[in-house]
Amino acid sequence: MKKEFSINNFVRENVKGLKPYSSARDEYISDGSKMVFLDANENPYENGVNRYPDPQQRGLKAVLAAQKGVEPQHILLGNGSDEVLDLLFRAFCEPKEDNVISLPPTYGMYKVLSAINNIENREVLLTPDFQPDVDAILQQVDIHTKMIFLCSPNNPTGNSFSSDIIKELLECFQGLVVIDEAYIDFSSDTSWTTRLAEYPNLIVTQTLSKAYGMAGIRLGICVASSEIINVVNKIKPPYNVNELTQQKAFERVKALDLVEKEVGDILAGKKELLKVLKEISFIEKVYASDANFVLAKVDNADTRYQELLSKGIVVRNRTTQPLCENTLRFTIGTKEENEQLIAVLRMLSKE
Ligand code: PMP
């Protein structure tokens, strides 16, 4: 059974004692009335971006919160989910002392961010069917293990992790369980953001870079208890989400029907591609996917990667990743792009 959980036991000492920077926009919050703003050393001439953005992104958080069925105080936004993940390391992991656990084959940034933050990254391979190995994970845990990263749907394998397994980890691991849901909008599974009240050690990250089609604006989302969000808020750069990003994201999140239509088209494209991939002579296995990409095992990934490149198609060669020998990862494109890929695969298949 879970012991009493208190986020204070996980916050780094320097963060606990930190008095955060208080920006001009934190100290005077506009209520919309016409005021003369001479507080932030901005250039007064209006050009759309001459003022600092809202450091708490209130408008954007309000629409996101409503859509996700959480309260705005459960949300922190970042410059991509990569920034959010980095902030988690900086809030909760003491360099050279603490460790985290990640589960290869998975998203490469958990390892890179561990290295940048001087935190040991304990790797526990997924099982051959790409699920977390709970016993092996729990064996790696010690008093310095602060976070476990679960990427579900997982990149590059494409599958979702079993909810029973995730539940077991949330219950048995006394530290923070970070579920990276970058690809959740392509999956029929319910987001773990709906389970916040049950698990005080749960942190969910999401992004506008995938289904929402906004990789260029860099908007990452962290959903967790307000206690966790308050800690991370203390250390985030004051204006980490710029004005243009807040505006673009707001418009896009409001236009959810358009996002859903594109997701529907991408999923239809995936279904079509899955059928074709199974007929290609050099493709040995196609893995099930809950994401907007498909992982396939080929006869020789290096050769096939080069052949596709020479025909103008860039895919991701994942052959160096554990359990992914000779695999290529295909992102689902537009109808036309998928047709181009299919034509090239068929041609290579006949050679
Ligand atoms: N998590 C996963 C699993 C990803 O695949 C990616 C991007 N490839 C990210 C996070 C980073 O997303 P963002 O663009 O929000 O930084």
331 plus 246 within the same structural domain: no
Q: What CATH number corresponds to the domain at position 292?
A: 3.90.1150.10
Residues 269, 229 within the same domain: no
Domain that holds residue 286: 257-350
Count of domains in the chain? 2
The rounded Å distance from CA 323 to ligand 1 centre is 21
Same domain, 161 and 216: yes
Residue 48 CB-half CA count within 13 A: 4
Q: Looking at the structure, do residues 40 and 181 belong to the same domain, yes or no?
A: yes
pLDDT tens sequence across 158-212: 999 999 999 999 999 999 999 999 999 999 999 999 999 999 999 999 999 999 9
Does residue 152 sit within a domain?
A: yes
pLDDT above 90 as % of the chain: 94
Which atom of ligand 1 lies closest to the CA of 82? 16
Q: Would you say residue 62 lies in a domain?
A: yes
Asked if residues 302 and 319 have their Cβ atoms less than 8 Å apart, the reply is yes
Co-location of 57 and 159 in the same domain: yes
* pLDDT of the residue at 269: 98
Q: Please report whether residue 2 resides in a domain.
A: no
Reported confidence tier of residue 3, pLDDT bands at 50, 70, 90: low
pLDDT at 2 over 60: no
Q: Which of 20-24, 156-160, 274-278 has the lowest mean pLDDT?
A: 20-24
Best of 181, 209, 223 for a ligand 1 pocket test (most atoms within 8 Å of beta carbon): 209
Residue 97 confidence (pLDDT) above 70: yes
Residues having CB within 6 Å of any atom of ligand 1: 80-82, 107, 151, 155, 180, 182, 207, 209, 215, 220
Residue 243: band (very low, low, confident or very high) from pLDDT cuts 50, 70, 90? very high
Residue 188 and residue 107 share a domain: yes
Q: Contact 53/239 with Cβ under 8 angstroms?
A: yes
Domain stop point among 233, 254, 275: 254
Strand partners, 77: 221
Residues 193, 224: Cα–Cα separation, whole Å? 8
Using alpha carbons, select from 242, 247, 248, 241 the residue that is nearest to residue 222. 241
Q: Over the stretch 209-240, which tens digit does the pLDDT of each residue have?
A: 999 999 999 999 999 999 999 999 999 999 99
Domain end marker among 254, 284, 299 = 254
Indicate if 187 and 281 belong to the same structural domain: no
pLDDT for 4: 78
Residue 76, classified by CB atoms within 10 Å of its CB into exposed (0-12), middle (13-18) or buried (19+), is buried
